Structure 1
Amino acid sequence: MDKSSTDPNAPMYYNGIYHFFYQYNPKGAVWGNIVWAHSVSKDMINWKALEPAIYPSHRFDRKGAWSGSATILPGNKPIILYTGVDPSDRQVQNYAVPANLSDPYLRKWIKPAGLNPVVDPEAGVNASAFRDPTTAWWLSGHWRMVVGSKRNHRGMAYLYRSRDFIHWIKAKHPLHSAPHTGMWECPDFYPVLLSGKQGLDTSVVGKQVKHVLKVSLDVTRYDYYTVGTYLTNEDRYVPDNTSVDGWAGIRYDYGNFYASKTFFDPAKKRRILWGWVNESDTTSDDVRKGWAGIQAIPRIVWLDPSQRQLMQWPIQELETLRGTNVKMNHQMLKTGDHIEVKGISAAQADVDVTFYIPSLDKVEAFNLGWSLTDAQLLCTKKGSKVQGGIGPFGLLALASENLEEYTPVFFRIFKSSQKHIVLLCSDARRFD
C-alpha cells in the first residue's frame, strides 16, 4: 500500500525509550487521511513501528489531526498538544495523554472530549492558519506555548499561558512576528547555552542562555531560524541584529528539509533535531514508486562560539552504522579536474575531506553589493560552474558516470577588505 510520511511530531524521551511521531497517510503516497504514526526505539537507530497514536475521532479533530509537540509535566507525565480541524474547517488546539503510563511504549492515547479543544482561535486570529503548538515551557507560575499563524502576510507566533495545561489564555502580544513572511508553520522555541554542546530543557532561562526561534515558511517550504534574547519580563523574543527573519535568514539545512522539531534528551543532555525531507518528485512519480517523504537523520544542535548561528552534527549513535572506510591521500587537483572516489557502494556516505590551497593571492574580491545575510542567494548567483580566482572546488555527489547528472557541494572563497570569506554551497538545480 502506498504511504506518505511528513512532519515529525512530538519527539521525546520517556522512561528509557525514545518516541517519535509523525504525520502519516497509511492509504496513499500523497497528503491526506493524516494520522499520527508512532515508532519507538532505545537507541534512535533501531525503530519499532506501533499502531497510530492519534487519529481523527472527535468533533474537534474530525477533519484532521495535524502537527504538535510533547511536554513532560511534573510527576513524569507526558502530554501532547496538537492541532485538530473541526467540521467548520477551524484549526483548534487539543491535548492527548497516555491511556496507561505503565505501558513502556505508550501505545494508546486518549483525548478528553469534555476538555478539548483547549485553545480556540479567538476574534482577530485567522482560524484557517492557526496550528502546530510548540513544546511548552514553565516560567513564573505559568506554562507557555506558541502557536504558528499569519495575519495577512505577517508571520505570527502567538503566545499562550496556562497554570494547569488545560485552560490557556492568549497573551496580549505575540512572542514574535515579522512582516512579509507569510504563514509560520511548525514553530519551535528553545534555549541554547552560550558555550558548549550540552542541550537544555525547554524551560531553562538565564544569563548563560540565548534562545532560538525556528519557523517553517509555507511560502518557501524551508525552515529558518534566528538566534536572540527571550525577554522574560515582557514575554517577547527579540532576534539579535545578526539574525534576519524570513527567507533571507539562516536555514537549518539547504536541501529539502521542513517542519522540523527539536527535543531535549535528558539521558545524554543534548538537544536533538528531527526534520522531514519533503519530495522534489512529482506527485505522479510518488504514487508510482509507492511512497513519499522520509525523516532526516537526527542531529544534535548547539550554539556556535560566534553566537550567531547553530552548529549541527549527526547523533553519536549513527557511528554504529559505519561500513568500510575508504581513504584517498595527496590528490593534486587542477582547474577542471575530477577524481572519482571508488569503493563506496552505500546509498549514504560520510565524507571527511581536507583541501590544501598553497596560495590565496588570486582569490576574487567580495563585492560590497553582495549580502552575506543571504548566503543562499550568493551561492545561487555564482553556482558551481562560474570560475572564481580559486575554485569553486568540492564534491560532486550522486554523479552519473559521464557527469550528465550530479549534485555539487562546493566551496567558494572571497577576499574582503579585512578577511577571507568562505562560502559552502550546494546546488540541486538541473544542469544542461
Structure 2
Amino acid sequence: MFKAAIRVNKITTVAQLRGSSLHAQRHDITGKARVREGAEPGFGLAWSKAENDRDYLAAFRAHKAELKAGERKGAPIALQALCVVSPEWVEKAGDLHDPDNPHNRQLFDQAKAWAESWAGAGSVFGSRLDLDEKGGAVVDLMIAPVRASRGKPVISTNKAMGEVKALTGERNEYSALQTSWADWCRDTLDAGIVRGTRKEITRRQHLSPETYGAVMDKARESLSEAPQRLLEQLKVAELSEDATQTLSDLLTLKVEINRHKALGRDYEPPEGGERLDEVYEGQTNNPWTVINAVRHGAQRIYDTAGRLGLDIMSYWGDSYEAGRDFFPELSDRMHLAAVLAKCGNFMARAEQMVKHALNPDAPKHDLKSLWPQEAHGEVERHEINLGLVVPQQEHSITDRRGVEIELDEGNEKERDVGIAHDTGHSI
C-alpha cells in the first residue's frame, strides 16, 4: 500500500516568488544544502510559462499576461503545492532519481493535471520534480487560479479552494486538497495509493516548503535499523568520561536540530522550571532565582553548544562552517544556528521580563543590553536564510506595481499558511 500527501502554502508577495525561484535554481543556502552528494544541482524535471523553467517570478508575470488576470489587494497571488507519493511507488518502476523512470514521468504529469482539474485549465504556471535531493517523489507546483469578478478575470485562490471543499465534502479546504489528491493518484497512478493520515501528512502547520521537504525526507527513511545498530555499538563501547560527555552533548543538540527542522518558526527552546507568564510581583527578592528557573531549558542548550565550542557568534555573518566536525551536513549547522539564536533570544527576554515583572516601576531594560546581546536580530536572519520568512521590507506585487484592484469579495482574506508567526514562550 502506498500513500499520497500534499502540502499547500499561500504566496502573498513577490519576495516569496523570488525566493522560490532562487531555491529551485539552487542559488540559496537551503537549496544548496538539499543537494545530495554527487548530484548535479537543479537536476530533475521542470516546466514553467517562462523561458527559464525555474524562474517563477517571470512565469507568474507570463501567466497573468496570458490570462489577462488582475489581483486583489491583500489577497494571495498564488499557491505552492507539494504533491507527494510514497517513494516506494516510484521505485517500483526504476531508480528514484532517474528522470526516465516512467513513474517519475507519470507523477510529474499527473500532479499538474490534478491541479488544473480544480484550479482551472492553464492555472499552473510552474512545476518541478527535483531529482538532485536525497529524497524524491515530490512535485512542486505553482498555481494561480483565475475566476471572474464583475466580468473581469482575477486571481482567486480562496474561490478555487472553496470549490474543492464543496466537491469533497471535507470540513476545510486543506483536508479537501488532501482527499482530492489521493483520489486522483488512485485513479490515475495506482489503485493501491491511499490518503495518508492527517497526522502523517501535516506534522505541524506553518512549515515552509523547504523545511517541509526536510521533514518529508525523514518520513521516507527507515527509522529502525540505524538507531538499533548505534545502540548495539554503544552497549559494548568503552568511552572515557570526556568522550561520553561529548557524545551526550552531540545527541542533545541533534535532538534540538531535528525539532527545529520539524517545527520551523514554531520551535521553542525546552521549558525551564517556571514560565514567564507565572512570574508575579514580589515572588522573590532575588530576581536571578526566577530568571534562572525560567530560562533553564534554553540555557542548557546554549551551554551544551558551548562545551563543543559553538555559540551565536560562531555563525555571525553568512558563514555556517563552525561545527562541521560534529555536524557534516550544512542543513544541520543552519538549523543549529537558528536554535542557538532562539535560545539566546529567549534567555535575554527572560531576564528583561522577569526584572520588569518583579519591579514594574523601574525602566524596562533594553533587550540589546542583556546577555547574550548578539541574539537580538539573529533569529530572523537565520530564519530568512532557512527560507522560513521573507524580509519585511518587501512589499506585495499589488502595491509595487499598481495593479487594478477589486474589493467586492470579503472572503478573500489571507490565512497564514506557509509562514508562521513567532509566538515564542508565553510572556
Fold similarity call, TM over 0.5:
no
Structure holding more strand per residue: 1
Give the TM-score taking structure 1 as reference length. Answer: 0.30
Identify the structure with bigger relative contact order (alpha carbons < 8 Å, sequence gap 6+). Answer: 2
